[in-house]
Structure formats: C-alpha cells, structure tokens
Structure 1
Amino acid sequence: MGSLFRGEPMCLAQLFLQSGSAYECLSELNPNVSVFQRKFVNEVKKCEEMERVLGYLVQEIKKADIPLPEGDVAPPAPLLKHILEIQEQLQKLETELREITRNKEKLKRNLLELTEYTCILEVTQRFVRRTAEYESQLHANYEEFPSVENEPSADNNCMHRLGAKLGFVSGLVHVAKVKAFEKMLWRACKGYTILNYEELDECLEDPDTGENTKWFVFLVSYWGEQIDQKVKKICDCYHCHVYPYPSSTEERKAVVDGLDVRIQELRTVLHKTEDYLRQVLCKASESIYTWVIQVKKMKAIYHVLNLCSFDVTNKCLIAEVWCPVADLQNLRHALEEGSRKSGATVSSFMNTIPTTQPPPTLIRTNKFTSGFQNIVDAYGVGTYGEVNPALYTIITFPFLFAVMFGDFGHGLLMFIFALLMILYENHPRLKRSQDEV
C-alpha cells in the first residue's frame, strides 16, 4: 500500500557487462524495452529474418486450419549458443515447406490441365457428331472435302488439289470473352472458320486467380496455314487454354484412356503430398509458440544491447539504469546468474552512482489497482515522490459512476459484466485482445 500511496524510491546504477555475458545478463533482466539500432545491427537483422520465417509458418498453419497451441508460461530467452540452432531449424523448415508447397501447386496445375483436356474431348465429341450432319453441304461446296470424323490424310489428292488441309483448334475460353472471341474470329478470318462452343456444366478453377469460374469449350475448324496462324494468335490474345485436338476417333479414345490413368495417378500423388504437408505443419505448430516468444525476447535483448556503450577496450558494455532501491539485490543476483550461464571468467557487476537528475516515477500495481492507475495516468503522471491519487480513485470513481447511473438495472448489468470478465480473464481470446472498445 505504501508503494501505491507514493512512488518507489529510485537510484541511478551503472552496469558493467562483459561482452561474452552481456546477452545472458540482459536476458535475466527486463527484455521489454524500446527499439534502437547501434552496434548489434546484424543480430537484430537475424532476429527480423527469423520473425519473417515465423510469420510465413504461422500463415501456412492457419491456411491448413491447424490450431496454434499457446502455453500458459512464456518460455525464457534462449542461450546465446542455442540461437544458431533455432535459426538453422527455421531455415530448414522454411525450405522444406516452400518445396512441398511448390510441388503441390505444380501437381494441382497439372491435374487441372488434364481435367480441362478431358472436358474438352468430351464436349468436342458432340461437336464432331453435330458437324457430321453438315458433311453433305461441305461436299457440295468443296467437292471431295474429307469427313471431319476421318483422318485429314484420308484423301491426299483432294488436299493437294485444294492446296490446304483441314485443321482444328480446341480449348477453353472464359465465359465473359466468348462473344468477343467469336466476333474476332469471324472478322479476322473473314468467315473461313467454323466455330462451335458450349458451356461446361461444372466450374473449373482459374489458374491465375484460384477462383472457380465458368468456361466455354470451343472447337475451331479451318483449313490453310494463314488461317491457322490467325486462329492461334486470337486464342493467345483472349488467354484461351488451347489443347491439341485428336485427328481421328481412335486417337481420341487413346488420349482419353491415357488421361484417365494420369488423372488417377496425379490425384494419388497429390493426396500423399497434402498429407505430408499437414504432418510437417502439425509438427511445426507444436513449437511455433515457443519460437515466436524466444525470437521476440532475443530481438528485445539486442535492442537493449544497442543502448549500451563500449569501454575503451571494447570488451565491456556500460549502461546506466534507473532501478528501485528495493530491487538492487535482485539486479545483482540477475547479473551473477547471467555470468554463470554464459560461463564468463569475469562476472558482470553494478555500482550505484550519485546524481542530481530527478528520478522517474515508479508505482507498483496489480491487476485490480492497474485500472484505476491508468485512469490517473491518462491525466498525467506525478513527479517523483508526489502523492499518488489512484488510491482515492478506487473509492471515488465507483461512487461517481453510481451517481451517474444510480439505478438497480444498470448496477446489475455492470455487476454481471464484471463477473464475466473475472471468470473468463484467462480465456485465450481475451488474452489476445488489444484493449480496443
């Protein structure tokens, strides 16, 4: 209560930290300090790189709908000799995940292409049957023009006489571009093409956006090398997915059978790849919470080390800190413990130095009194040794609130809300809140 009534007695201390034990000493002290960059820039950059890798891992874990476990107790800062091990583990894990993800995306793209090709062959088969009905009209216009159901080489003499051969281009075009695609073919080829198209019953994934989209299957029939080049350029202009068209019924059947086998194999491999990816992510999720906390503490420690200055020998770090008189013994013990963990031959130590500077105000609070102290600090922090009014607001603030809402209904609602906050204070969602209204 004395600490709440007035600020803690403070003193200015000077720390002498050996370079080899400075990291461990500061890890035993307070890691939550302001951010600066001085002599330990490379170490801070390594921590930022590890934070980037951890951010990528968290993103992939959330994308796979894997829960992220959280520990009740924050892990301590890692020892200096363990930092390299953590960095190597994260780099190895990132490389493995990126390789698995890249292979998975490649398999999915190949599977999508084979599925598109299968759909095209199924739909264009109906086009061929429909075109056969107009075969008599084609024969009337072009004499011995070969049937679209037979191979183009069925009548070589006729093709040489016409100076061209029948060609086909099949593929998929986006539903929003099919009308413009049809007009462009008609105008550019001057009507010397036959376009058949039909909408697919199912939606297929767009490889560029990853969204399910409606597609149209088209089959362009033409003859002549110049028309062939024009048709292919137009298909490329409208970002059509073009696939080779079989020239005979037997070839079409062989292609369909081969596609069915390859699709089944790709689905099996893709399923195993996804299972392995999930196993790797589940294993990483077990340690992700510890790694995130440890990297944050490492980065904070190096930022604090950047605040220190070197002595003339560049072997000892010197820092001046404000410390409560009651915690001087704890500070000495922390320096001794850090020196012991680092194995330094010379222990780090501290000295109190006299000063005429006004010390900062430190008022210790708990989870009950911190709310009232925050209300007082919102208006201004008292000077060193000034009486702290937060002790009186514990009584005056609820009283004034009752004056403003002096009825049983509001009081009951406030009581229920406060009771729920107390009962669920350790809930993970409340712990992750940013204190926003």
Structure 2
Amino acid sequence: MGELFRSEEMTLAQLFLQSEAAYCCVSELGEIGMVQFRDLNPDVNVFQRKFVNELSDPLPPPADLLYISPQATFEKLENELKEINTNQEALKKNFLELTELKHILRLYLCAMEDPSLLEESAAQYDPNDVIRGAPLRLGFVAGVIGRERIPTFERMLWRVCRGNVFLRQAEIEDPLEDPTTSDQVHKSVFIIFFQGDQLKNRVKKICEGFRATLYPCPETPQERKEMLAGVNARIEDLQMVLNQTEDHRQRVLQAAAKTVRVWFIKVRKMKAIYHTLNLCNIDVTQKCLIAEVWCPISDMDSIQFALRRGTEKSGSTVPSILNRMQTKQTPPTYNKTNKFTSGFQNIVDAYGIGSYREINPAPYTIITFPFLFAVMFGDLGHGVLMTCAALYLVLRESRLMMFSMVFAGRYIILLMGIFSIYTGIIYNDCFSKSLNVFGSGWSVRPMFDSRVGGNWTSETLDGNRVLQLDPAIDGVFKGPYPIGIDPIWNIATNKLTFLNSFKMKMSVVLGVIHMLFGVTLSLFNHLYFQKPLNIYLGFIPEIVFMASLFGYLVILVFYKWVAYDAQTSRDAPSLLIAFINMFLFNYNDPSNRALYSGQMVIQSLLVVIALACVPCMLIVKTLVLRRQYLWRKHLVRYSRPGVTFNFADVAVHQAIHTIEYCLGCISNTASYLRLWALSLAHAQLSEVLWSMVMHIGLSSRSFILLSIVFFFFSVLTVAILLIMEGLSAFLHALRLHCFSSFVIVWKML
C-alpha cells in the first residue's frame, strides 16, 4: 500500500566502487533505475573532471563485454562506405568520360559525312597560302565544354585565331552527372579544324582556359567506328557495374539503419554512465571511486544484486560496498511505477512532484482521470473505437515501441475508451443515436384514453406539428429506463433543454465530490507528518467551508430530484436563484418558493459557519503558530539556534493560502462546468456529422454512394470526434486534475 499511495521511503547510502568495476556497476544501477547520485564535486569545473575525455570519445573498459562500444562497427562501416563511394566516384568519372567520348565520335562521324565540310573549311583559307598540287590536310581537336560557355568560347577562337579555324559543335541532349558533386550539368561537344602547329597550340591553350575536356580521336574512319562500338560496349558494362554498386551501397546503408537506433541508445547510455562517474570522488590511491546515492530502503537488496552483477561482469575480484548513512537532509521524492501506472504518474508529475512521503494522487488518478474524460467524451460508438485502438497498442506492445508518445499512454487510452463506453451507455448515445434495448418508459396511448385524462384525438395529431406528453396522466410514464437516459429523448424537441439541465447538475455534483476527495487526501498528509495544528486549523475549516456551501448545493440537487415528481414539478423552485438568495439572506422572493420547511434557518446557519471558517484559517492559525514559537523559545531544550519566526511572513503566507482556497472553491466549481460544455459539444458534433454525412448515404439506394459516404463519415469521425475532440477532452481533464484537485492534495508542509 505504501508503495502505491505514498512516495518511497529513501535513505542516503555511500558506494565504494573499484576503478575497473565502476563502469559496469553504474551501468547495472542505471538499468534498474533506483538510485540518484549526488554530486560530490560541485566546485570542480565540468571540463576538469576525470572522465571528460571519455565523454568526448566514449570507450568502455576492455573487460566490459556487454557494453562494447559501437566505434569498431562504425569504423568498419565507414571504411566500407568510403571504399564504395571511392569506387563509385571512379566509375562515374569513367562513365562520364566514355559518354562524352561517345558524343564526340558521333559528332565527328556526322561531320565527316557532310560533303560541304571540306569546302566550308577550305573557303576560310587564302588559296595563295596553299602549295600548288598538295592536298589540303587539316588538323582537329575534339572535346566537351559547358553549354553556357559556348558563345564566349567561339568568339575567343575567332579573335585569337583570326578566323583561321572551323568550329563544329552540338549540344548533348541529356544532362550529365558530375561525379564529384552529383549535380546535373549541361554540356556540348565540339570539333575544331585548323591547319598548322601554331594554330594547334593556340586552340589547346584556349580550351585549357575555358576548362574544356579534350579527347583523342583516331585518324581513319574505320578506327573511329571501331572505337565508337567499343565505347558503347564499355558504357553498357559500366552502367551494369554502377547499378550493382548502388544496390550494394543501399544494402549496406539499410543494414546500418536497422541498428542505428540501438547504437544511439548505447552511446547515450555510455555518456550517461561517464557523466555519473564524474559525480564521484576518487580516493588518494586512484583505485577506488566514492559515491553517495539516494535509494529506496525497500530496494536495498536489488541494489546489492546489481552491484554484484556489475562486479562479476567487469572481472574484478574486489566487491563493491554499499553503506547506509545518517543525514538530516530531506530525501528526494521517488514514486515506484510499472508500465500500467507510469502514464498516470506522468499526468501527476506534469503538475508537480509532491514533497517527500506525501500522498501520491496517481493511484486515484487511474480512476478519476479517465472517468472525467469519459464524462466529456461519452459516446458508446466512439468509446468502442478508442478501446479497440488502445487494445491493439497493448497487445502489440512488443512491436510498437517506436511510437513512444502514443505507446506510453496506451493504458490511459484504454481506460478512457472503457469509461467512454460506460458513459455512452448512461447517455444512451451511440454515434448520436439512442439504443432502445429495454423499451421506452413513455407511452403515447394513454393520451388518447379519456378515461385516464387523455385529451388527444386524430384531429389533434393533424393540427399540431409538436405535441407534449403529460406525465401526470396515468400510464404515460411507466418508470425510468433500466440504465441510462430513455431513448425517447433522442426524438424529443426539448432534448437539448433536458440534457443541459441533467449534465449541468451532474458536472457540479462530480466537481464538488472530486474537490472534497482532494481535501480528504490532504488529511492523510497531516496525520502522517503528525501536524495536528494543520488538521484542526487547516483541514477541518477547509472541508467545513466547502461542505457548508457547495456540499449543501449537491444535497439540494439530489433533494430536488427526489422531492418533486411529475405532478409537483411545475412548482419546483430554481436552485440557482435559491443558492444566490442563500448568500444574500433573501428569503422573501415570491417567485422562488422554499424547497423545504426551515430552509431559511439552515441556510443562514451554513453561511455563518462558512464565514466563521475564514478567520479561523486566516488569523487563528497564525496566532497559534506564534504562541508555539514563543513557548518553545523559553524552553532551552526545545530551542534551535538560528530558527526565527517572522510573524509578517507567516501572516502573509496564510492570508494568500486562505484567499486562494476560498476563491478556488468558487472558481473550481464553476470550472467543472466544462464537463457539461464539452459533453454537449461532442454530442452536437456527432449529431451534425450523422445528419449531414451519413444520412445522405442511408437515404440513397446506391451501394456505391453509400460506400463513399461511409468512407468520408469514418474519416471525419476519426479525425474530428476521436482525435480532435479526444485531445480537447484530455486537456480539460488534465486541467481539472492539476488545478482543481492536485493543488488541494499538496500543501507546503
């Protein structure tokens, strides 16, 4: 019981770890998660601690075989990928060169097949410069250049060579991949014809200046054709090799991706271990590490076993030592959890963590949180869908660990779905429709029977669009529905008025009960810490104040439900007006009669009692604390040097607490009306979605149209009503717990 309803009893212990076993021992302690290390080097800079180098490059001790560093695996993978990338880059470079050479050879063959080429090139030269009777022999240079440089390249050739060269160029249609940057570049191939070595040198220098790539080209046509065929064959082979290389690299990367999460976890664990080791002291012999830890007293044996396992794994022959220490420091708060309670404990911790050994509200939150959520989300159909989704997460929990946020709250979602099914049955609401399982308790037939007071006829039905049943007529109302709201209210025109009244009163009742439960839990804190003053001048005035006002309001709600029936309901007074008049001491309002005899005396007495509780909390407790301080001051054996009593600080603190509590009772009670508001909003959204979407498909006779409408109805139901409305109800339930319940349980003790 103590493990669930109160934080664990902690003790301060001292650890003596051998240097060679320290890593494994801390690792085992981290796996069980039951110790908190204290920093024994608070004055030492972070960069001057012993294991700083290991944090920058974590390497475990050689004897540790369980936590082998993934660095060796990283190096092997890195070398393999480097080799693959180097080979692939070389292959891509060779592929690029062959592709460019292929386009050059094609351009040259096309140029040589052009009969006007010799005439055009010969026309650029002076006939007097050609030796008579000698054939015209032209040299050429072929290469590849960036497409954007062609105009500038052509002008430079013309000016430098004074028009004594002939340039033939063609664009490469498909972009080529740069093997270094993997960018797509557009290039053009060119052939430059010239005569003489002087022009040849000029042309080559211009090509070098424009970073053009030159390729050798055979002289004879037969050699060029053979070279082109060989280049095409090599390109096909290279393409096959490149595809195989890319497939191999993808396989290597996919294999690494499967284990990268495990590597990250290992690296984080190693860094956490070395960070923890930096919190320890090292003795003068440099062979032993000294640490101080907070640990639960009930888990001392588990910690001893963990230290023993760490020593055995490290291969050390000297066992680690765990000694309990005596201290007056306040231990940290530790609440033991399991996979079921951890999600609810996180909800409590989202508001704050209680003081040491205070009551832990998490066990009660297991019931109250999903219940308040279900009050706002109550729908049988939506609850079934949520329960099925949560059951899938629970049953497949071993395979769905990667969805950390949703997976961690799987049991919360499961209970929210189960409670939503329950409240959906109470509301008799399933996708905005009611289920008539037991038959309605209302009957129309007695309204046509004049013997029991009925006055309806067939003309009455024809002349009126809306008729009202009279429950005062015998047989019209046979009795309440066995469970939940009667299904006839789903077709009633005053359905919203009835449900608003019911859910609003239900919200106030649940809110007051929840807050009274929180105040009651604070009593157990006062009893455990043996502070009777907080009981007599704190708990009792608080619960009397709340019960005198809002507890009385809850009693009035139930009294009105029981005291008035169908015959007398017309004379029932308004609870809101009666509650306001209670504070105003106004009992002469003719429009609002008394609920019961003696109401004025009882209500006046309750208001006086509630008002009397305020100075009791505000003034009396402060004066009693001051008197106790003065009494202890005169008793030497009870006096503690350095402890002073500041009356002003205590008075201000008590005044803030009293005002906060009194105003909080009012504001938090009103805050619980969100249960009514969100329940109404959820029901109306569900009804609108059914009438505007699903009703269209059901009214048609086409199966295809019905399937399409059902698909959209399912998507909108999941997206709007389950996810958006579910998240909204979750946040409001969290708010009601944090600021309306937990704030009452936890006090500054």
**TM-score of the alignment, normalized to the shorter chain, above 0.5:** yes
1:123 has 2:103 as partner: no
- Of 151, 172, 188, 1:200 maps to 172
Return closer, same or farther for 1:211/1:388 CA change in 2, 3 Å cut-off: same
Q: Count residues in correspondence.
A: 398
Which residue matches 2:367?
A: 395
Shift of 1:82: 7.3
- Of 174, 183, 187, 1:215 maps to 187
1:46 and 1:78 mapped to 2: Cα distance? 15
1:170 has 2:142 as partner: yes
Shift of 1:390: 2.5
Which residue matches 2:22?
A: 22
- Of 111, 134, 139, 2:122 maps to 139
Which residue matches 2:54?
A: 43
Shift of 1:227: 5.4
Q: Deviations over 1:142-190 (max 9, x none)?
A: 356999xxxxxx999788xxxxx84433333344554554455556655
1:104 has 2:88 as partner: yes
Shift of 1:104: 2.8
Q: Deviations over 1:113-151 (max 9, x none)?
A: 122212221123213333x4142344345356999xxxx
Return closer, same or farther for 1:318/1:373 CA change in 2, 3 Å cut-off: same
Q: Deviations over 1:301-347 (max 9, x none)?
A: 22222221101222110011111111111111122222233332321
Amino acid at match of 1:105: E
Return closer, same or farther for 1:368/1:246 CA change in 2, 3 Å cut-off: same
Shift of 1:78: 8.8
| 1:172/1:216 contact within 8 Å kept | yes
| 1:185/1:193 contact within 8 Å kept | yes
1:286 and 1:311 mapped to 2: Cα distance? 43
1:113 has 2:113 as partner: no
1:78 and 1:27 mapped to 2: Cα distance? 15
- Helix, strand or coil: the match of 1:80? coil
- Of 316, 337, 340, 1:368 maps to 340
Amino acid at match of 1:206: D
Shift of 1:16: 0.2
2:382 and 2:208 mapped to 1: Cα distance? 69
Larger strand share, 1 or 2: 1
Return closer, same or farther for 1:274/1:399 CA change in 2, 3 Å cut-off: closer
| 1:146/1:155 contact within 8 Å kept | no
- Helix, strand or coil: the match of 1:383? coil
2:364 and 2:66 mapped to 1: Cα distance? 49
Q: Which sections of structure 2, spanning at least 5 residues, go unmatched?
A: 40-45, 409-726, 728-749
Return closer, same or farther for 1:233/1:379 CA change in 2, 3 Å cut-off: farther
Which residue matches 1:61?
A: none
Amino acid at match of 1:46: D
Which residue matches 1:353?
A: 325
Amino acid at match of 2:274: Y
| 1:9/1:325 contact within 8 Å kept | yes
| 1:425/1:431 contact within 8 Å kept | no
Shift of 1:352: 0.7
Which residue matches 1:318?
A: 290
| 1:170/1:243 contact within 8 Å kept | yes
| 1:138/1:145 contact within 8 Å kept | no
Amino acid at match of 1:339: T
2:128 and 2:73 mapped to 1: Cα distance? 68
Shift of 1:19: 1.2
1:234 and 1:432 mapped to 2: Cα distance? 63
| 2:397/2:407 contact within 8 Å kept | no
2:129 and 2:251 mapped to 1: Cα distance? 57
Larger mean Cα displacement after TM superposition, 268-277 or 22-31: 268-277
Which residue matches 1:94?
A: 78
1:350 and 1:156 mapped to 2: Cα distance? 110
- Helix, strand or coil: the match of 2:290? strand
Amino acid at match of 1:9: E
Q: Deviations over 1:241-294 (max 9, x none)?
A: 432344442442353355356546655765776677677668777876665544
| 2:121/2:166 contact within 8 Å kept | no
Which residue matches 2:557?
A: none
Return closer, same or farther for 1:219/1:137 CA change in 2, 3 Å cut-off: closer
Larger mean Cα displacement after TM superposition, 277-286 or 91-100: 277-286
Return closer, same or farther for 1:138/1:23 CA change in 2, 3 Å cut-off: closer
Larger mean Cα displacement after TM superposition, 216-225 or 179-188: 179-188
Amino acid at match of 2:64: L
Larger helix share, 1 or 2: 2
Return closer, same or farther for 1:180/1:394 CA change in 2, 3 Å cut-off: farther
2:406 and 2:94 mapped to 1: Cα distance? 44
1:145 and 1:44 mapped to 2: Cα distance? 83
Which residue matches 1:64?
A: none
| 1:13/1:323 contact within 8 Å kept | yes
Shift of 1:397: 2.6
Shift of 1:198: 2.2
Structure of higher RCO (CA pairs closer than 8 Å, 6+ residues apart): 1
Shift of 1:192: 4.2
| 1:29/1:331 contact within 8 Å kept | yes
Return closer, same or farther for 1:279/1:251 CA change in 2, 3 Å cut-off: same
1:272 and 1:91 mapped to 2: Cα distance? 23
- Helix, strand or coil: the match of 1:221? strand
Cα RMSD (Å) of the superposition? 4.3
